[in-house]
Amino acid sequence: MMKPVNQAQISFPSYSVNEGFGRAAVAAFLAQLDPTVADLADMRTAVSEAVTNAIVHGYRDKKGTVYISAKIFEDGKAVVRVRDKGCGIPDVKQAMEPLFTTGGEERAGLGFAVMQSFCDSVRVTSTVGRGTSVTLTKHFEPKE
Amino acid sequence: MSVQLSYKEGVLTAKLTGEIDHHSAREMREAIDDTAQKLKPYCLRLDFMEVPFMDSSGVGLILGRVRLCNFWRGRVVLCGLSPNLNKMVELAGISSVAAIERRAG
Ligand SMILES: Nc1ncnc2c1ncn2[C@@H]1O[C@H](COP(=O)(O)OP(=O)(O)OP(=O)(O)O)[C@@H](O)[C@H]1O
Ligand SMILES: [Mg+2]
């Protein structure tokens, strides 16, 4: 395993007003990879999905803390992990199916589908009652 | 205000401003629904010209308004989508339930 050339951690309470802060903070950190506007926009969207899920689903019954770590590697790879200590996901495979939602009328059930299509890989580990960790990996080709 | 509403000849236009996420979508939804339910427009036009960012909460916002307008057989039209937003709208397959007006230029 390569060592990251730089890394950052942030955490904040699960208030929905912090969704914008979470994705903006990660995007600001990843800007040092000199990414294209489109690549950075993709990662920003994927982070927004993961952070929103932690707030809306993970901490649906109680407030808690959302943890984000971002690492960048020499070859232009970025790894962003979003964690919550919320309710956890009973069936991760089912949760990741497009259109599956427990969120009711106003949720599309597309968060994981967006993460998967906007990143190179998405890894989810979850334990009911303990929380969920979502790891997003994306390679950034340097701008011309 | 993140939503500016105007009504003309059966068309209700909602000009949305700012990033659309789970946090901001609620206020937008409430503003739109409040007026739409009163006017029952045959066309609800959602203008995304001033929206620099949208995640899947925006998809939920659009699909929810399509469902609402279905009650009186109204339709939803989206306009002003940037390439970023368009990517999200395409992934969600929204073009099967709402018309999409291409951005000029
Ligand atoms: N951090 C989490 N903690 C607990 N459950 C989660 C978490 N993330 C996702 N889930 C579960 O997985 C389902 C699917 O998530 P996904 O993001 O794909 O869709 P959604 O959040 O329901 O809708 P959308 O993201 O389109 O608004 C959720 O409805 C929820 O049941
Ligand atoms: Mg989601």
User: pLDDT at position B104, please?
Assistant: 64
Q: What is the mean pLDDT of residues B80-87?
A: 95
Closest partner CB to A108 (pick from B19, B59, B84): B59
* CA A93 – CA A91 distance, rounded (Å): 6
Question: What residues in A contact B83, CB-CB < 8 Å?
Answer: 38
ipTM metric: 0.94
Q: Where are the domains positioned within chain B? A: 3-101
Digit-coded pLDDT (tens) for B33-75 = 999 999 999 999 999 999 999 999 999 999 999 999 999 999 9
What architecture is the B3-101 domain classified under in CATH? Answer: 2-Layer Sandwich (3.30)
Q: What percent of chain A has pLDDT over 90?
A: 93
B76 and B62 Cβ atoms separated by less than 8 Å: yes
What region, left, alpha or beta, does residue A86 occupy, with left being phi > 0 and alpha being psi -120 to 50 degrees? beta
Question: What residues in B contact A16, CB-CB < 8 Å?
Answer: 22-23
Q: Which domains occur in chain A, in start order?
A: 6-139 (3.30.565.10)
The CB of A84 under 6 Å from ligand 1? The reply is yes
Which stretches in chain A have pLDDT values below 50? none
